[in-house]
Structure 1
């Protein structure tokens, strides 16, 4: 998943957008209950395989609660990152959403918004050139993130998602839709009005209808530019109107000074019975035979339409055009329902629009990229810094108030462009607090390798026999954790027993435990045999709590902590290695670079060998069996 937004509510995005995209079944109601903990764990587990990147404006919050998805803040010279698009890629489906809604509760729950969705396939309404143009426009946003150099892993993750999207677009059949479509971004080269002729057919336009949440009170540039497009005949039919919502006191969000440039101001809707804030943006241009509709993120301002010589936002829109008497044209014509004319005496009230804040405490570009890195010395924060520090004092702190860096310390160290600070594994921050001048903001932390992140306290509670039982029964870690917490809630401890006969198993009998292990390993092989669409997905499977590396680490750690069951630990290591050897990796990796995938499997085998060497006295017949199993697995993997 790759999405762009101006405003961002990380908590809403995680619990609603991400949870739905990843098909999370548990609900986090933020009450602190066991169910909330389970829901959080399920989301964390679901986030292991996909790559999720959000590109937001520099002023958007960074206070997310998971490092398993990336938020990158863009700094647009002379404007804002205002684009609102999402690329959703599942294993067998791809969807593109373009519209007006930010990744906020208001955008997805309460406002009046307008968006379009295009699913790749034979019925996709967007042609390949438009889809490729969307990918190129989004990729250009990566250059707006301070410090995001090409070799940074976080950037490679986003580029990989775009690469997968492009590969799917390349296999698209030619569009058979009767809609004409054209990409219409706002950037430093162009604006949406420049692309109308790419979809327009027939005689010149006669009429235009505007919907916008925000207007330049002192500039009618958008209205005059659109009026210049209305050159159709007869001239008496040329009309320009604006559709607005009416507030509880009769107020409207359209400046009275602009009424002289339009023929009519009309009420938008009605849509439903709920009081809603207008946040949609669209422009409908038509004559008596054809119409075109602009759908996307641009407010009807100079910055939104790219009409200002210096101030331009980055926007993403598309034009959709069709003959008015076609089913597609009729559908487009119904996008903007209009009601009664607004009386001339209606009061003007400038909206409190989340897209056009009066004050925006954007993090200065001096604070580049903050990376979380796990190296030989453990976890570290790499603070990337520019050459244009804020005037006066500034400081960077962990969320708990612990100081990491300030101006005096930085200057005393020689004003380096990178400052490294060590961390402890149970205190990895999701963001940092930054203060400069009289302003405060947050600095997002991005993990170079999210597969190295610790599992979190809830999953750390699970013992190896819990994980083995989950694999044997087909349960997920979420189901397992829920059962464990339910047992704790009623005062029970010990293993989760799903088989009544299991209570009679003697822990010292290796054979009976071997049967459970055999079922678990069969489950492990099935999980690893499922085809993957990215190398990142394969790495997630190998390192997840139900993956071979995590389970083997648990087994050995528990043995070293208790000093018992050495034979069982060695036997489990051997069987995990042999399971890796039995997977048909060529089939699993048919959609990815096989060489990169096999390198990850080799790393997993190397990890098992390192675990074998950690077991004291790992000699004798059983230890030799483990060594032979590792060798045999390596041979099978590469055969």
Structure 2
């Protein structure tokens, strides 16, 4: 067995990998998968790091909500696919939550972070939870892709294809699934040149390969098991001499434990070979006096099985730093020259390695090393294998823990496949696309005789139940009005007389369906002008505004005392125009900047601090329809002069200009709705000339 760890080289904080690297560009989107899940941790830690948020929910309150809303609204997609047993949690509907339902479990831990100039791929053993990122001993690999990078592009493209397949275990038609696949489309098309291909690379000292485990397809095809893929990846003509396995979970003691046989088959058939198991364990207190075994290892005794006399099995107790619970999974294969190190989500179980009747979804990276090409690099990678201490198997008590895939799943009710997609949208049935009336559409797949009821998060009262569904004729889709202020992030589902509840996550039909935070609703014109005229971030300007607003009573007293402040010049057309002039210029500059995503452009044009919000504030606060018509015409004229230029990786210029042109048409409608057609003839003529120029 290879010697292990003399240093802590290779250890790091997983959250640091979510921080954008230098020159990464604008955030575009995130796709992630997890088995267990903490929605608050993902939103407040992972997404916040990815977006580069300056505020936090604990200390900054409204400023955090504003900054989060502003930056999430610009993303093309932010989405997490979680095993159905653990897919739950209140959250912002600016990001999607998808339940994965399959015969095994969704156990892969993949994070794909996309910025305009950079893509980062992370594959490891850590779930998107506080424990996974801060408490456990985990293992993960990071590959960075950008223009001129030498990372293996096959890993990125193969992972993109894998993510396309895994989302099918949730849905193929829901808007959230479409957003997921659209982001993959972008990665595959825009980033295919951000790395090196195997045909163009000389054999390096380290190669990186992907290793995915998937259940059998509906056609009956069974993918290659993890052992089959390792055998294909191994670079030498004969098998390795040794295998070291680190895993917190194994097949149960009463099972055949097929992975034990398969790992021996992977090694060479002649000469001495060694398999070492690195597991969690503790030394017994007072073992000498009490006559107990010295060690308690969390593993089944079936690991001791060997195929022949020249095969040696060894055991080691992982000595995790700071007594961290072991959750890392890995297989280290080695001979006199080469090593292959598999890391990722696969436990050393039949389901985890894809050799049982029920395979999981798993994701791993395999690092293939050549000691003759770079011995220093070889040792550096070897140093990342968890430190451990060899123990005598004859002096061990075997206490295998419950299988992770079974024990955790039993703690939560999985949402049955009968409950399809739940989607929140705006009700456009009255022909008003700007309607504030929300609706929730519930999809039901097949029939169900067992009782069920849905309740809004945090309440016990049934919001919808099987009686109402059956009374409506058991339809495949039910659309219900939503009258509460904020859209639901999910429903508690009670199933018959079962204890506990399942969680039915809700996603949005479109980001435009979501209302802004209360702090950004119907902002005064003066505040919008400050926002547009300032080079500071939105949340900082808004923090100042909210602070000033809280002192309104004091300001009213000052105004009453100072006679100069009692003079109201806000109704003077020329004065108002001068105040708007600078804001309109900055607005145009903001609109004409290249947009990394269409969502960014929509936010600039239609968001709560966008062009349409400014026009509506003008119409709301103008002293007359005449003033409103004139100022909105000026806004439209400035908007039409936006000089949009092409930029690689950004929204196409033609699309960008079309969106601006469409908004100009809406501004004309706003003038008409506000009574601008009753303005004096000379102003009407001016407004008409403006829109004639814009149209031309």
- TM-score normalised over the length of structure 2: 0.82
Superposition pairs for residues 114-133 of structure 1, below 5 Å?
114-121=139-146, 124=149, 126-133=151-158
**Contact 1:524 1:546 (8 Å CA) reproduced:** no
Match of 1:499 in 2: none
C-alpha spacing 1:518/1:253, structure 2 compared with 1 (3 Å): farther
Alignment of 1:127-142 (within 5 A): 127-142=152-167
Deviations 1:127-151 (A, max 9, x none): 22332111111001221114x42xx
Residue-by-residue CA offset, 1:50-93 (whole Å, 9 max, x unaligned): 121111111223323211111111111x1111111111111211
Residue 520 of structure 2 aligns to a residue whose secondary structure is: helix
Is 1:225 aligned to 2:262, yes or no? yes
**Alpha-carbon distance, 1:587 to partner:** 2.5
| 1:331 equivalent in structure 2 | 380
Q: Structure 1 residues 443, 247: closer, same or farther in 2, change over 3 A?
A: farther
Distance 1:521 1:286, change over 3 A: same
Matches within 5 A, 1:426-437: 426-437=485-496
**Residue 368 of structure 1 pairs with residue 420 of structure 2:** yes
Structure-2 separation of matches of 1:568 and 1:140: 56
Q: Is the contact between residue 352 and residue 362 of structure 2 (CA under 8 Å) also seen in structure 1? A: yes
Residue 268 to residue 505, structure 1, CA distance change in 2 (3 Å) = farther
SS in 2 for 1:155: helix
2:365 paired residue number: 318
Aligned to 2:351: 303
- CA deviation digits over 1:518-550, x for unaligned, max 9? 221222222222222332332232222332122
SS in structure 2 at match of 1:317: strand
Look up the match of 1:277: 325
Q: Aligned residue for 2:609?
A: 546
Among residues 421, 424, 427, which one is paired with 2:480 in the alignment? 421
CA distance in 2, matches of 1:182, 1:299: 18
Partner of 1:258: 303
- The reply to whether residue 440 of structure 1 matches residue 488 of structure 2 is no
Residue 193 of structure 2, aligned match among 160, 171, 174: 171
Kept after mapping to 1: 8 A contact 2:231/2:266: no
Q: Mark the structure with the bigger radius of gyration.
A: 2
> Which of 91, 98, 101 is the equivalent residue of 2:123?
98
Query: Match of 2:559?
Result: none
Counting only pairs closer than 5 Å after superposition, residues 441-520 of structure 1 correspond to structure 2 as 441-460=502-521, 462-490=523-551, 506-520=569-583
Structure 1 residues 63 and 464 mapped into 2: Cα distance closer, same or farther (>3 Å)? farther
Q: Deviations along 1:245-287, whole A, 9 cap, x unmatched? A: 33586643222332345711213245x3x23111111111111
The equivalent of 1:613 in structure 2 is 672
- 2-structure distance, mates of 1:590, 1:126: 20
Higher mean Cα deviation, 470-479 or 95-104? 470-479
Query: Which residue among 375, 385, 396 is the counterpart of 1:345?
Result: 396
Structure 2: state its 5+ residue gaps. 1-29, 217-222, 285-294, 307-311, 430-436, 557-563
SS of the aligned residue for 2:61 comes to helix
Q: 1:352 to 1:608 in 2, by over 3 A?
A: farther
Q: How does 1:545-584 map to 2 (within 5 A)?
A: 545-559=608-622, 564-584=623-643
Counterpart in 2 of 1:186? 213
**For the residues of structure 1 that align with 2:649 and 2:196, how far apart are their CA atoms?**
26
Whether 1:398 and 2:456 are equivalent positions in the alignment is yes
Secondary structure of 2:158's counterpart equals helix
The 1:595/1:241 distance shift into structure 2, 3 A limit, reads same
Residue 535 of structure 1 contacts residue 593 of structure 1 at CA under 8 Å; is this kept in 2? no
Cα distance between partner residues in 2 of 1:388 and 1:281: 41
Whole-angstrom CA distance in 2 between matches of 1:468 and 1:207: 69
Q: Report if the CA contact (8 A) 1:181-1:199 is conserved.
A: no
Give the structure-1-normalised TM-score: 0.89
Q: 1:608 to 1:595 in 2, by over 3 A?
A: same
| Worse-matched range after superposition: 528-537 or 19-28 | 528-537
1:22-171 equivalence runs, <5 A: 22-29=51-58, 35-50=60-75, 51-76=77-102, 78-121=103-146, 124=149, 126-146=151-171, 148-149=172-173, 152-171=174-193
Runs of 4+ in 1 over 6 A off after TM superposition: 502-505
For 2:150 and 2:366, locate their aligned partners in 1 and report how far apart those are by CA, in whole Å.
12
Query: Which residue number in structure 1 is paired with residue 339 of structure 2?
Result: 291
Change over 3 Å in CA distance of 1:64–1:494 after alignment to 2 = farther
Q: C-alpha deviations, 1:448-482, integer Å up to 9, x for none?
A: 11123111212126322111111112233311221
Which residue of 2 is the match for residue 268 of structure 1? 318
Q: In structure 2, do the counterparts of structure 1 residues 565 and 370 end up closer, same or farther at CA, with 3 Å as the change threshold?
A: same
Per the TM alignment, residue 313 of structure 1 is displaced from its structure 2 partner at its CA by 0.8
Aligned to 2:34: 5
Per the TM alignment, residue 349 of structure 1 is displaced from its structure 2 partner at its CA by 5.2
Q: CA–CA distance in 1 between the matches of 2:196 and 2:282? A: 46
Gaps of 5+ in 1: 496-501
Distance across 2 between alignment mates of 1:516 and 1:162: 45
The alpha-carbon deviation at position 316 of structure 1 amounts to 1.3
- State the shift of 1:490 in Å: 4.8
Aligned residues: 612
Distance 1:631 1:348, change over 3 A: farther
Mapped to 2, the partners of 1:168 and 1:567 lie a distance apart of 48
**1: CA distance between counterparts of 2:651 and 2:282?**
54
Q: Is the 8 A contact 2:87 2:98 kept in 1?
A: no
For the structure 1 residues 555 and 244, does the alpha-carbon distance in structure 2 shift closer, same or farther, using more than 3 Å as the test?
farther
Cα deviation, residue 118, structure 1? 0.7
Q: Distance in 2 between matches of 1:485 and 1:142?
A: 42
